[in-house]
Structure formats: structure tokens, C-alpha cells
Structure 1
Amino acid sequence: MDSTSVHKDIDEPLLVSNEPSPEPPSCTQSFSSKHGSDGELERILSNTSVPFAKRLGPATWVELKLLFHLAAPAVIVYLINYVMSMSTQIFSGHLGNLELAAASLGNTGIQVFAYGLMLGMGSAVETLCGQAYGAKKFDMLGIYLQRSTVLLTLAGIILTIIYIFSEPILIFLGESPRIASAAALFVYGLIPQIFAYAVNFPIQKFLQAQSIVAPSAYISTATLLVHLVLSYFVVYEVGLGLLGASLVLSVSWWIIVIAQFVYIVKSEKCKHTWRGFSFQAFSGLPEFFKLSAASAVMLCLETWYFQILVLLAGLLPHPELALDSLSICTTVSGWVFMISVGFNAAASVRVSNELGARNPKSASFSVVVVTLISFIISVIVALVVLAIRDVISYAFTDGEEVAAAVSDLCPLLALSIILNGIQPVLSGNIFI
């Protein structure tokens, strides 16, 4: 395969009218029913003989059905994955204030760096696979999955170096040597998680592009239960402390990865999109990297500012109190962020599928609907946070000083929740 054909595969596979992959009628029918590619929404929006106000209701109903079919399981997956990370922080926090500060600094200050980069780079698969599926070029989905995994694995090697030298890096940034040492111990156990990210995010986007989201939700739910039991046993019964907590988190992510890959290989739903390993995964990597990097930029900026806040908190006069209170706020904000990322994924799939099927009005309408829904949810959550501001911290630690500090931060937290409820959804459609 020459460089011209490789570049063409990436830049145009999906919006040009090349011959689609030949598939049996059952596959086409399934595609239409799940993605709205029969054009029902586009016909409603394009019917100018009916006033727009009368078209709005039916169009919204059609879009909501399509959107929530994708968004509900996607939000569950992201929330459960986030709960796994948060529960690890909670288990660590009940070991003591130092352990909570260390887990917060390691989790939010270091691990989020890798999470934002890996999820952002993996989002290229969401766009390409969504458009390929919309254009019925089914054979390209497996190739995109493998290319992304190769790139993310290479990125994971670089991130591993950062993890290994996390203690001197944190001390260089001005963190307390005592907290930096404990945080580094926590981070060492997260190194296997980096490579789980490298496989998980491409797999996740590959499945979402085909509206296959329920299996990931079931797998994540089962893994969460295993994670909670293992965490309690390893941290408290075995006594491995911070290192044990982070190692269990890494193991849990690998359970998710293996289970999802087995599903892809064995499921009849993926037999037309996964056709085994291919050397094409190693072709066109420079062009694919450019798209992955572009996809990563916005999400990295969204996640890394949390990281910067936590690092700055560690420089304050009372670093343990500052880290504890701020990490609780960022954890709560992260809940809403994960909901928004779930809607982001649903919106990206909806828009790319409609563009691949040449339905521009449907694509634009989907962006409007998903943004409004995410905004409403974030406002409701912000009001709940304000209502329980005085007690919210006790889920993480027993300290009264921390509770008072968190209560003072809650008005700003509520504003952040609302803004974070909208921005990720909008940014998810920029690179489509």
C-alpha cells in the first residue's frame, strides 16, 4: 500500500461515495434501525411544507430515541470507570489524611495526565469508525481499531517514563517530599493501567461507533463489583496500602479490556467489522497520528486543568488540607464530566454516522439536542451539590477541617459543574 492510498484511507474513506463493503441484508437492516440511516429524521427536518415548529416535536422525539440508545449505556460505562478510580481514592483516604493526599496527587496530578491523552487520542477512532459505519465501509473499522492501539501503546511507553520518575518530578514542581514520596508509590501501581488505556479506548470507540454499548456497560458493572471486593481485601486485609490500591485498579482495567476484546472476537455483531489482525494496522501511522493528536488536544486541555489545580494546591501553606478539599471537589466535578463525556461519545457517533449517511440536517440537529440535555443535567447536579455542601466530604474522609473547606468551595464547584456539563459535548463535535 503506497502513501497516497494510505492518506486517502484516512482523509476520505468515509464521506465519498466509494462502494460500501458488501454485507448481507440483515446487517444493513440492523444498521438502519440503530442509526436512523433510513433517513426518517432527515426527512422530517427537510420537509419545508410543514412549519418548523410542527417539525420540531417529531424530530426531537426521533433524535432522543436514537441518542439515549447510545448515551445511556455510554454514560454508565464512563461513570462506572470513574467510580472505580474514585473508590480507590476513598479506600486510600480511610488509611489517613496523608494517604488521601497522596492518592489524590497521584490520581489527579499524574494519572489524569495519561487518561486525558489516551482518551483524546482514542477519540480519533470514534470519528473514523463512526463515519466508516455510516458509509457502510465496515471492513475499515477493525483497521482503525488496530492502528489506534498501536499508536496509544507507543504513547504509553513514553508515559511510563513519567510515571517512573513521578517522585522527583513532583518534588521539582514544589510538592512536599513526604506527599510526593507517597504519591509516587501509588503511581507505580498504575503503570499497567496505562497500557490498559491503550487498548480499552480504541475498543470502546470501535463498539460505540456500531451502537454496541450495552456489553461494555455490563462488563464495567461486573468489574466494579470485583474491584470493590479486591480493593478491600488487598488494602485492609493484606495490608498493601497505597500500592495495593493502585495495583487493584490496574488489574480491574485489564479485566475490562480482556472481556471487551473477547466479546468483539466472539460476537456475531462484530463479525463484519472485526476480521482479525492485519498488517494494515502499521500503515498510515503518521497521518493517523495527526488526527489522533488533533482529537487529543481539546480533551487534554479539559482534563489537565484539573491536574494543574491539584498541583497548585500542593504548594499552599497547608498542603494536606488543600489537596484533600480540592481533590474532593474535583472528584465530584469529575462525575458530571464523565456524564458529559458519555454524551460526547453519543453525539460524536450520531453526528459521524449521519455525515457518513449524507444527512447534514440530522447531524446539526443532534448537536443541539445533546447539548441542551447535558446542560439540564449539569444544572440539576449543581443544585444538588449546593444543597449537600456541608456533608459531601464525609464520603471521602472524616476530617471536620476538610468538610468546612469543601463547603466553602462548593459555590465555585457548582459553577464549574455547569460549564463542564456543556463544553465536552460541544468539543466532541469539533473534529468530526
Structure 2
Amino acid sequence: MSSNSIENTIEDSSSGNDEPHQPMLLHKQPSQEPVISSELEDVLSDTSLPYLKRLRRATFIELRILFKLAGPAVVVYLLNNVISMSTQILCGHLGNLELAASSLGNNGIQTFCLRPYARDGECGGDTMWPSIWGAQPLLILLGESDTIASAAGIFVYGLIPQIFAYAANFPIQKFLQSQSVIFPSAYISGGVLVVHLLLSWIAIYKLGWGLLGASLVLSLSWWVLVGAQFVYILVSGKFKHTWNGFSLQAFSGLWEFFKLSIASAVMLCLETWYYQILVLIAGLLKDAETALDSLTVCMTISGWVLMISVGFNAAASVRVSNELGAGHPKSASFSVVAVTLSSFIIALVPGHCCALTSPCDELRLHWWQHHCGCRRRTLSFLGHLYFTEWSPACVYPVRCVAVGCGWQAFVAYVNVGCYYFIGIPLGCVLGFKLDFGVKGIWSGMIGGTLFQTIILLWVTFRTDWNKEVEKATKRLNIWDNIEKPLLKD
């Protein structure tokens, strides 16, 4: 329905016409205009300009848009990651066992609960209850030591409320990100981090609640984060056109939503489970407690660095999908190159800075661990970590380019082959058969990620973007031509 017809309808009703001409459902306007740059397409299509001049102008335009989208998202992801990381740091100061237990418990929770929330943000809790209460025997069944499994089971009990917070947080976060409302989330995350550190210190050290206190405070902090974001949505006037309150209409179309999101859920689960399974495998090594501690520290440092790439994920998906929907094939192609190179370069900077300041590693690791033997083992692993960050940094943006193009099913197949037929077997061979230990498991993980990166980069840069624009246009035309009334006569 055009804007002119809506205006005419309103004028008829206000002029005393008793017939109900007002439509039953109006197209809601977004809170903010989407970021779509026709200027970039014009510059790339202007053959009168020299190639280098076009490249320079296009790069400036794209980076300006990209960093405007990715910058606040990176801050949000970093702060949320530090909330969980700080809990593990505090547990590490209780002892090696506590650090290993918190890592194993937290990774086990994510392994089992990611499938429900990825499929449907409201159903994570019910699926997780049996897994939580059976955490200790399940870990023992998987071959973990009784001591670590028992401590991890205690830590997991305190994470029960966090599961429901996850289920509520992800839809709220995506709702805000889709409208480029990111700075409020960053401010909220920063405030929650301060509260979390204070409460964790009180619960762990002053009240002596140990692992259970650490996990309970972590759950509470996530609920504070969810509640603060939800209150912001309620009191802010930015969302009056996009959310009018709770309604039974939210339960309509769930089957269509499920069919649309199942490929994304499978893709995300296969990728996240891969990293969590490697942690479980590390628990089977000799001296599992020290191995888990070393891998936990290194994976957390790696995850913190890769939050930059994760922040670029959202920007990559938004940029590519917007340009395809706007009919800009050259802009979509250029955005892929820009976001991949930007994420690659920026993610390498922290790793190389840490490598250059490696004499300070002993001091940095003192934040995590008191045990000198564990610190020495972790120190020997950090150099290997610093120079293997580039592969995940490349694959994250390319994966989200695939999401923007609708290739989720293809990426899921790639994940199965690269992660579960290359990465995990290679890590087991290097870690157990060749006795490389944690370094071998990490090398296997990087090997699987490297194969995934090569395949996705090859497919992405061979893509016919004109055809992708045609596909996107067809999808938009289908949705534009479908009008479903809310009520039937």
C-alpha cells in the first residue's frame, strides 16, 4: 500500500465518512533508516575516474560505513566477554582445580544450550534442565576425572539461571542491533561489568562461596544485563514504530520462522560445539587439570581478541544484505573485501602486540593463576597462540557474508567437513598419538579453521554478485506481494 493511499484513507475518515477505510495493518517504519550507500555503487561504476582514485574513494566510503556499524558492536561483545572472563580469572586465583572446573562447566553449558537458543530464543531452558542436573555423571562418562567433574558440577548448578538469561538476551540484542541501536547496549554492558566485578569479589573472597558463588553472580549479572536492556526498550521512544508491547501475534508464524532459521542454527551450533568439544578432549590429556587451565587461558585470550572479528560479523551481514537488497552488486562485492581485510588486520594487531611484549606474559598470567607450574606451561603455549589468530579472524566475517547471502546450509556442510572430519581428528592425533598435548589439540583446531577459511574465501570471491542481487530482488518481491490480513470475515 502506497503512502498516498494511506494519507487518502486518513483524510476520508477525518472528513466524516463513516465507512471503515483505514487498513487493518500498516507497514511499520523502522526506528532508524538502514545504512545503504548508493554513493559507493556510483563511485565503483564511474569508469571515467582512474582505477586507483576509484579504489581510494570507495575504500574511504566503505570504511566509514563499516566502522560506524562495527565499532559499537565490538565494544558490546568485548564487554560481555569480559564479564565471563573475569569470573574465570577470579576462579583461577582460588586454584588450578577451580579454574579447570569453571572452564569445563562453562563450556559444557554452552555446548548443550546453544542448539536451543539458536533455533528459538525461548526454548533453551527446558532442554537444558536434564543436562545440568546430570552434568557430573555425564562428564565422568565422557572420561573426565572425578575431581574435575565434581567441581564442574558444582559450578554448573549456579549457571542454571544464566541459561534463561541467554534465551532472553539474544533476541533483545538482535532487536537492538537490527536498528543500529548499539551505544545504549555498550553503556549497559559497561555498568553491568562494574557491578559484576564487585559482587564476584564479595561472593568469592568475602563470603567464601567459591565456585558456586562465582557462577551464581555470573547468572545474576546476565539477568541484570537483560533487565536493563529490556527497560531501555520500554522507556525509550526509539522503538514506538517497531514494538508496541506483548501480543499473542508473536506466536503466529513460528513454523515459518523455524524453517527459516534452522540452517543458521545448524551452522552456528556446529561451529560453537567444535571449540567446546576440544575443551572436553583436553580434559582427557595427562595432567588434565593443568592442560585445561592452559587451554582455558589461551582460548579466553583468543576469544577476547576475536571479539573484534565477531563485532565485524554483524557489520558484514548487514552491509552485504543491504547492498544486495538495494541492487548494488559492486558495492556488495567491495564490502566483502573490505570487511574481511579489516577484520584480518585489526585482529592481528592485539596478537602481535602481545607477542612483542611477551616478557610481560608472566605478569599477565599472574592475573589468572597462582600456580607457577601451570603458568610456565601456559607461557610455552602463548607464542603458538599469538601467531595463529589470523585464520579465525578471516573466517568470521566471511561466514557472516554467507548469512547475508543466504548460504547458511552450504556453510553448515563446510563446518561438518572441516571441523569434524579434519580439525578434531587432527587435534587428537597431534595431542595424543604424537604427544604434543594442548599444542596439538590447538593446532588441530587451527587446521580445521584454516580449511574452512580457504573454502569460504574461494567460494565468496568466485561469487557472481549480479546473480545474488537477482536472488535478493526475487525474495523482496515475494514478501512485498504477500499481504495477510490479521482478521478474516
Query: What TM-score does the superposition give when structure 2 sets the normalisation length?
Result: 0.73
Which segment drifts farther, 422-431 or 382-391? 382-391
For residues 63-142 of structure 1, the aligned pairs below 5 Å read: 63-108=62-107, 110-113=108-111, 116-117=114-115, 120-121=118-119
Mapped pair 1:227 → 2:196: yes
1:270 corresponds to: 239
Mapped pair 1:426 → 2:414: no
Contact 1:374 1:422 in 2 (8 A): yes
Contact 2:121 2:170 in 1 (8 A): no
Letter in 2 for 1:416: T
Contact 1:171 1:177 in 2 (8 A): yes
Counterpart pick for 1:382 among 351, 360, 368: 351
Contact 2:100 2:289 in 1 (8 A): yes
1:313 corresponds to: 282
Contact 1:76 1:217 in 2 (8 A): yes
Alpha-carbon distance in structure 2 between the residues aligned to 1:430 and 1:76: 23
2:374 corresponds to: 402
Alpha-carbon distance in structure 2 between the residues aligned to 1:208 and 1:243: 33
Q: Identity of aligned pairs, percent?
A: 56
Alpha-carbon distance in structure 2 between the residues aligned to 1:253 and 1:193: 6
Letter in 2 for 1:419: S
Alpha-carbon distance in structure 1 between the residues aligned to 2:369 and 2:326: 51
- Shift, 1:206, TM fit: 1.4
Counterpart pick for 1:184 among 140, 153, 156: 153
Query: Larger relative contact order (C-alpha < 8 A, sep ≥ 6)?
Result: 1
Contact 1:314 1:322 in 2 (8 A): yes
Contact 2:83 2:193 in 1 (8 A): yes
Gap regions ≥5 residues in structure 1: 1-18, 122-150
Letter in 1 for 2:336: V
SS at match of 1:153: coil
Alpha-carbon distance in structure 2 between the residues aligned to 1:83 and 1:247: 16
Gap regions ≥5 residues in structure 2: 1-24, 405-489
For residues 148-297 of structure 1, the aligned pairs below 5 Å read: 151-297=120-266
- Shift, 1:335, TM fit: 0.8
Structure 1 residues 211, 252: closer, same or farther in 2, change over 3 A? same
Mapped pair 1:324 → 2:293: yes
1:372-413 Cα distance to aligned partner (Å, 9 max, x none) = 111002222221333344424222002221122112222431
Alpha-carbon distance in structure 1 between the residues aligned to 2:100 and 2:28: 56
Letter in 2 for 1:21: H
- Residue-pair matches, total: 377
SS at match of 2:193: helix
Letter in 1 for 2:196: H
Alpha-carbon distance in structure 2 between the residues aligned to 1:73 and 1:114: 29
1:144 corresponds to: none
1:301 corresponds to: 270
Structure 1 residues 340, 160: closer, same or farther in 2, change over 3 A? farther
Letter in 1 for 2:111: F
Contact 1:265 1:274 in 2 (8 A): no
- Shift, 1:59, TM fit: 1.6
Rg bigger for which structure? Answer: 2
Alpha-carbon distance in structure 2 between the residues aligned to 1:160 and 1:328: 28
2:327 corresponds to: 358
Counterpart pick for 2:27 among 10, 14, 21: 21
Alpha-carbon distance in structure 2 between the residues aligned to 1:22 and 1:314: 52
Structure 1 residues 357, 118: closer, same or farther in 2, change over 3 A? farther
Contact 1:371 1:422 in 2 (8 A): yes
Which segment drifts farther, 224-233 or 189-198? 189-198
Alpha-carbon distance in structure 2 between the residues aligned to 1:116 and 1:342: 19
